[in-house]
């Protein structure tokens, strides 16, 4: 009897939904390949964190990889920072950042006119700011960036300078606990110095003269202490890779020590090259034991509340799965990180479908891949933290507890 | 797309059962309305505490409301005391009490001839007893009462004076731990003083001359330290009410800060006015977000071991549900706190059926409301502590964990 020895783990981000009328987007989509996998696999439903707990993409992915989010999720900053390519270390304090527009003390545009190119601005900040503590500031896509503070006696117990709404006064950083006073002072220093540099920066002078809002201030939020994470390979003995377009998911993969295998064509939206992404993942299986693939578009369509857009993107995902059907020696998992119902336009706690297809699974009577049929499957109802244990057992690499 | 914004939560106390022959009382009852709700809702089974753990009504209700009974259940006293209308406070030590009959040092009747009217006796105790510590003593229905001690250095680590069986000697109160010595002394003082008052009380002199057993002693049991409970409204942001006849359930509701909405006709037995209770609950929804309704009769029939009585009462419950079918914007939950199989005549840990009907639920293939069909439902198997999280998510008021 064959035993699969590799794991290909698909997260169809936000694909799970609630019925609109009589069916969900997954039920309405044309999914012969996913249905074939369900027909010859085992299905179930899964609370990626726990029943009734609304997951973020970050907390859900941690949980699916077997890292308890209640222990490892300290805020979004660390994962965003890792996602933009900063080599974060345990003990760093990390932030997600926006370039924004400050005028007369008010944040008049939280995205600085959706500025596209911030490399020079970020470079000038990195070179010109000195707050007496090491920091790494790096631009991301669009108006986004990330910052990491590294040193002694730092704390993430600080407020944000982001007023959250536009045309409100920018805030100062404040310590929430006494151990964060040094960090709050560093951040206020950073803010003052970066404003000086950005105000007079040629890029902004050019933007101002062209009538575009200058990117003259950095908003820092999502403060989090970078946790000490046992690398995935050490935890499971599996050489692992992540294929994703979303910085947050790449960041989670990197923080877990996964190799980020990039490919051209991933956008994180419904225009993403899904076929290319799936091929890249299959290719990555050649020299990895575990490949995590995040396909983001369905989540976007859910947030937009667009049923047809979501349904059609799920049909496109299915087409890309034709090449997954023939994989040998591979445990294929297809699940989601959370539901993003088009009726709610945000994440909900409704359980996600999970399907496992590979050598030795107890094939059940579920013949279609969707949230509703999955509830009748042989896996019944699981939690996200269970799934890596189950997969390790199915590829015969789980340790026995007892004799 | 509509999203329900209110929750109507029915606990059919002890309704869940085991098959007798081929069916359970719920399967045998005539329940077209409950079946309609199941048909258009989502079902499952639920361990109100955990698989195999036999729940009390008190621990189960706490769990269903999202209060971990292992943390908040310190004994039955606090909930009984709250149920009879004592405004208990965190730190109080509370007891459930019986008026009983003492003769030559023996408890010859633990219910004092099922005495019905004890208001004057309770009043005399409240006025006449002085133990150097504040106490509240209040009569309940029949021979029942409750007592609360309030002050410094009190403890619930005390034995009871109740011999549990009749014609046994009454016991003294003893401290189980050294910190309870003061409390044991107070209780023994209370006991001696109350016996003096009761012995010579006109009510008892009248009973004795009429040949009825005098209510000349108080048995105190179920000692519990009143826990610090986060009010339901603070915990969930929902204005809440409880509709129940059972003092214990009213007490739990009150301790959680729920408003007790009373109505005439609730008896806690199979003669209860179920239609009136359901109407009262529906009416209470007008100015509350969450209404807990406990319907007790099926539990009584279960304890009595009477299949037909239980079945017929469940059919009567169903009739009252006709008005529930048409509710708009309301998440309707129908479950039980525990099974009370007629074959066992006591609570068992068999999971209870749970059904949720409201906007956005993933309608499954369950068409009838009972323990057996529910096991095939889309909710699969839950725990009592999950259900409030799930409901908060369904009414779109859950907080997201992560981003």
Task: Write the pLDDT tens digit of every residue in A221-252.
Answer: 999 999 999 999 999 999 999 999 988 999 99
- What is the average per-residue pLDDT within A131-136? 97
Helices (H), A247-361: 247-255, 274-284, 297-304, 307-320
Residue-level pLDDT at B141? 87
Residue of A nearest to B1 (CA): A343
Residue pair A47/A351 in contact by the 8 Å Cβ criterion? yes
- What is the average per-residue pLDDT within B34-56? 98
Reported as a single tens digit per residue, the pLDDT across B308-334 is 999 999 999 999 999 999 999 999 999
- What is the average per-residue pLDDT within B284-292? 98
Q: Is A348 in contact with B396 (Cβ distance < 8 A)?
A: yes
Reported as a single tens digit per residue, the pLDDT across A359-399 is 999 999 999 999 999 999 999 999 999 999 999 999 999 99
**Interface with B, mutate which of A13, A18, A73, A342 (most B CBs under 10 A):** A18
Is the pLDDT at A268 greater than 90, yes or no?
no
- The nearest CA of chain B is from the CA of A187 a distance in Å of 23
Residue-level pLDDT at B266? 74
Q: Is A73 in contact with B3 (Cβ distance < 8 A)?
A: no
- If one counts every other C-beta atom within 10 angstroms of the C-beta of residue B50, the result is 13
**Interface with B, mutate which of A55, A64, A341, A375 (most B CBs under 10 A):** A375
Using alpha carbons, select from A102, A103, A99 the residue that is nearest to residue A115: A99
Residue of A nearest to B384 (CA): A51
- What is the average per-residue pLDDT within A64-82? 95
Reported as a single tens digit per residue, the pLDDT across A282-310 is 999 999 999 999 999 999 999 999 999 99
Residue whose token pair is 């976007």: A300
Percent over 90 (pLDDT), chain A: 94
- What is the average per-residue pLDDT within B154-168? 96
Of B376, B391, B402, the CB nearest to A56: B402
Residue of A nearest to B398 (CA): A54
Mean pLDDT of chain B: 96
Residue-level pLDDT at B1? 66
Residue pair A388/A7 in contact by the 8 Å Cβ criterion? no
- The nearest CA of chain B is from the CA of A18 a distance in Å of 6
Residues of A in contact with B380 (CB under 8 A): 45, 375, 380-381
- What is the average per-residue pLDDT within B20-46? 98
Q: Is B398 in contact with A350 (Cβ distance < 8 A)?
A: no
Residue-level pLDDT at B131? 96
Is the pLDDT at B267 greater than 80, yes or no?
no
Q: Is A60 in contact with B364 (Cβ distance < 8 A)?
A: no
Query: In which region does residue B72 sit, left (phi positive, over 0), alpha (psi from -120 to 50) or beta (all else)?
Result: alpha
Report residue B374 as tokens.
Answer: 């529910």
Residue-level pLDDT at A271? 85
Q: Which residues of B touch A (CB under 8 A)?
A: 1, 3, 360-365, 376-383, 386-393, 396, 398-403
Q: Is A52 in contact with B378 (Cβ distance < 8 A)?
A: no
Question: Cα–Cα distance between B367 and B38 in angstroms, integer?
Answer: 5
**Interface with A, mutate which of B356, B362, B384 (most A CBs under 10 A):** B362
Question: Cα–Cα distance between A11 and B240 in angstroms, integer?
Answer: 39
Q: Is B401 in contact with A73 (Cβ distance < 8 A)?
A: yes
Is the pLDDT at B21 greater than 90, yes or no?
yes
Q: Is A60 in contact with B400 (Cβ distance < 8 A)?
A: no
Q: Is A349 in contact with B403 (Cβ distance < 8 A)?
A: no
Residues of A in contact with B392 (CB under 8 A): 52
Percent over 70 (pLDDT), chain A: 100
Q: Exposure of A119 by Cβ count < 10 A (0-12 exposed, 13-18 middle, 19+ buried)?
A: exposed
Q: What does pTM read for this prediction?
A: 0.92
The size of the A-B interface in CB pairs under 8 A is: 96
Q: Is B382 in contact with A51 (Cβ distance < 8 A)?
A: yes
Q: How much of chain B is in helix, strand and coil states, percent to nearest 5? A: 35, 20, 45
Q: Is A19 in contact with B401 (Cβ distance < 8 A)?
A: no
Is the pLDDT at A270 greater than 90, yes or no?
no
Question: Cα–Cα distance between A386 and A50 in angstroms, integer?
Answer: 11
Residue pair B175/B184 in contact by the 8 Å Cβ criterion? yes
- What is the average per-residue pLDDT within A162-184? 96
- What is the average per-residue pLDDT within A311-336? 97
Residue pair B52/B344 in contact by the 8 Å Cβ criterion? no
- The nearest CA of chain B is from the CA of A364 a distance in Å of 14
Using alpha carbons, select from A355, A375, A102, A140 the residue that is nearest to residue A250: A140
**Interface with A, mutate which of B365, B377, B403 (most A CBs under 10 A):** B403
Q: How much of chain A is in helix, strand and coil states, percent to nearest 5? A: 35, 20, 45
Is the pLDDT at A269 greater than 90, yes or no?
no
Instruction: Identify the DSSP state of B269.
Output: S
Q: Is the dihedral of CA A118, A124, A130, A133 positive or negative?
A: positive
Residue whose token pair is 């003492």: B102
Of B361, B380, B403, the CB nearest to A58: B403
- Max CA separation in chain B (angstroms): 75
- What is the average per-residue pLDDT within A180-186? 97
Residue-level pLDDT at A90? 94
Residues of B in contact with A381 (CB under 8 A): 379-382
Report residue A23 as tokens.
Answer: 């069916």
Of B364, B398, B401, the CB nearest to A59: B401
Is the pLDDT at B203 greater than 80, yes or no?
yes
Q: Is A52 in contact with B389 (Cβ distance < 8 A)?
A: yes
Residue of B nearest to A77 (CA): B403
- The nearest CA of chain A is from the CA of B312 a distance in Å of 32
Percent over 70 (pLDDT), chain B: 100
Residue pair A53/B389 in contact by the 8 Å Cβ criterion? yes
Question: Cα–Cα distance between B22 and B162 in angstroms, integer?
Answer: 42
Q: Is B396 in contact with A56 (Cβ distance < 8 A)?
A: no
Is the pLDDT at A100 greater than 90, yes or no?
yes
Residue of A nearest to B43 (CA): A375
Of A346, A371, A380, the CB nearest to B381: A380
Helices (H), A293-383: 297-304, 307-320, 371-374
Report residue B41 as tokens.
Answer: 């809702």
Residue of B nearest to A54 (CA): B400
């Amino acid at each position: 009897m064959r035993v699969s020895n590799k794991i290909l783990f698909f997260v169809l981000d936000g694909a799970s939904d609630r019925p609109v009328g009589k069916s969900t987007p997954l039920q309405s989509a044309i999914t012969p390949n996913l249905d074939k996998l369900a027909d010859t696999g085992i299905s179930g439903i899964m609370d990626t964190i726990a029943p009734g707990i609304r997951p973020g993409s970050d907390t859900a992915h941690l949980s699916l990889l077997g890292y308890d989010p209640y222990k490892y999720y300290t805020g979004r900053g660390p994962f965003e920072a890792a996602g933009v390519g900063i080599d974060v270390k345990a003990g760093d304090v990390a932030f997600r950042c926006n370039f924004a527009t400050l005028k007369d003390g008010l944040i008049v545009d939280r995205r600085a006119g959706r500025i596209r190119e911030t490399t020079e601005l970020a470079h000038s900040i990195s070179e010109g700011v000195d707050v007496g503590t090491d920091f790494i500031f790096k631009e991301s896509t669009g108006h986004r960036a990330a910052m990491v503070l590294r040193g002694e006696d730092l704390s993430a117990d600080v407020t944000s300078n982001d007023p959250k709404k536009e045309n409100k006064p920018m805030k100062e950083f404040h310590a929430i606990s006494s151990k964060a006073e040094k960090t709050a002072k560093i951040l206020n220093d950073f803010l003052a110095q970066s404003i000086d540099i950005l105000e007079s920066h040629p890029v902004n002078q050019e933007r101002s003269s062209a009538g575009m809002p200058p990117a003259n201030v950095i908003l820092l939020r999502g403060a989090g202490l970078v946790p000490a994470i046992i690398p995935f390979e050490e935890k499971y003995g599996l050489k692992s890779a992540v294929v994703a377009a979303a910085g947050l998911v790449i960041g989670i993969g990197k923080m877990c020590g996964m190799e980020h295998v990039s490919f051209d064509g991933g956008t994180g939206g419904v225009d993403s090259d899904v076929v290319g992404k799936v091929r890249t993942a299959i290719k990555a299986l050649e020299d990895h034991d575990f490949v995590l693939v995040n396909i983001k578009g369905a989540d976007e369509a859910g947030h937009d509340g667009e049923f047809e857009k979501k349904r059609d993107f799920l049909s496109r995902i299915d087409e890309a799965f034709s090449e997954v059907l023939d994989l040998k020696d591979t445990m294929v998992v297809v699940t989601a990180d959370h539901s993003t119902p088009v009726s709610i336009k945000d994440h909900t706690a409704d359980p996600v479908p999970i399907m496992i297809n590979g050598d030795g699974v107890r094939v059940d009577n579920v013949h279609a891949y969707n949230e509703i049929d999955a509830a009748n499957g042989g896996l019944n109802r699981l939690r996200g933290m269970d799934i890596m244990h189950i997969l390790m057992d199915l590829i015969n690499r789980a340790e026995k507890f007892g004799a």
